[in-house]
Amino acid sequence: MNSSQPLPNDFIQLCQSVTAKRPKAVINHILQHGLVTTEELKNIYGYNHPPRAARDVRERGIPLDTFRVTGSDGKKIAAYKFGDVSKARFSRFSGRTGLSKQLKDELIKRHGCKCFIYLEVVDKRELQIDHRIPFEIDGEPEFSPEHFMLLCGSANRAKSWSCEHCENWSIIKDKSICLSCYWAYPESYTHIAMQQVRRIDIMWQEEEIDIYENLKQQATELNKDIPEFIKEIIEREIGRNQNG
């Protein structure tokens, strides 16, 4: 639909039903100006990861098209506008703050008030509900806790970046690939965004921070990165146990 044509009332109502701050900012800007650029999302709204903001909108069932425009520095940047509004669909997240709260509470009851990726205990307000399988791959699942996870902002941004640069996201779109991915099920996975890698996210908190600082100092003295140094320690320990 041409941006100069009036939008259908039911589409406007869908847009207005979105209450979450980040997608609402994107939607309102497009409603007012016809498009929003990544530059505007960063400079006006403070969103340093615009694709995540756009993804939030799409997860609400509102189609967005991505295209290129010229930024203030003369370089080409991404911009977003509404896509084919006939493909809009009502997501059970859209405007349903009661259900979202109920879902978050149930996930916390089952798994604790922590990020599913980093396993870090954080304030409930900092946890965000995310689809285990990206909306772009599997659409809107049954509104059940099994299909969602709680992520802190950092983990959510990391997952968004990794998913959006995965071949399954852009080309293949096979749900089974996501089901065995770290970003969907970090407790049991065979790949990360189709790459044969494994990862462990370790945090040191409170009295444990002294241990981290000690590791950091030793790594610096050996002119090594901390992850590299920790892997060497683990490898030595495994070798010692096997040989013992």
CATH architecture entry for 9-87: Orthogonal Bundle (1.10)
With a CB cutoff of 8 Å and minimum separation 6, the contacts of 61 are 14, 88, 89, 90, 91, 94, 140
Prediction pTM value:
0.68
Cα(146)–Cα(107) distance, integer angstroms: 9
Residue 153's SS3 state is: helix
What confidence tens digit (pLDDT) does each residue in 198-235 have? 999 888 988 999 999 999 999 999 999 999 999 999 99
pLDDT of residue 2: 40
Structure-block tokens of residue 133 = 């399988």
pLDDT of residue 203: 85
What are the backbone dihedrals phi and psi of residue 224, each rounded to the nearest 5 degrees, phi first? -125, 155
Cα(42)–Cα(232) distance, integer angstroms: 40
Q: Is residue 151 within 8 Å of 117, Cβ to Cβ?
A: yes
Q: Is residue 64 within 8 Å of 81, Cβ to Cβ?
A: yes
For the chain, the domains span 9-87, 101-179, 209-238
What confidence tens digit (pLDDT) does each residue in 33-73 have? 999 999 999 999 999 888 888 888 887 889 999 999 999 99
How far is CA 2 from its chain centroid? 30
What is the layout of strands, in order, in the sheet containing 64-70? 36-37, 76-82, 64-70
Q: In this structure, is the dihedral angle defined by the CA atoms of residues 22, 94, 62 and 174, taken in order, positive or negative?
A: positive
Cα(186)–Cα(118) distance, integer angstroms: 9
Candidate CATH numbers 3.40.1800, 1.20.1690, 1.10.390, 2.60.120; the one for domain 101-179: 3.40.1800
Cα(187)–Cα(198) distance, integer angstroms: 11
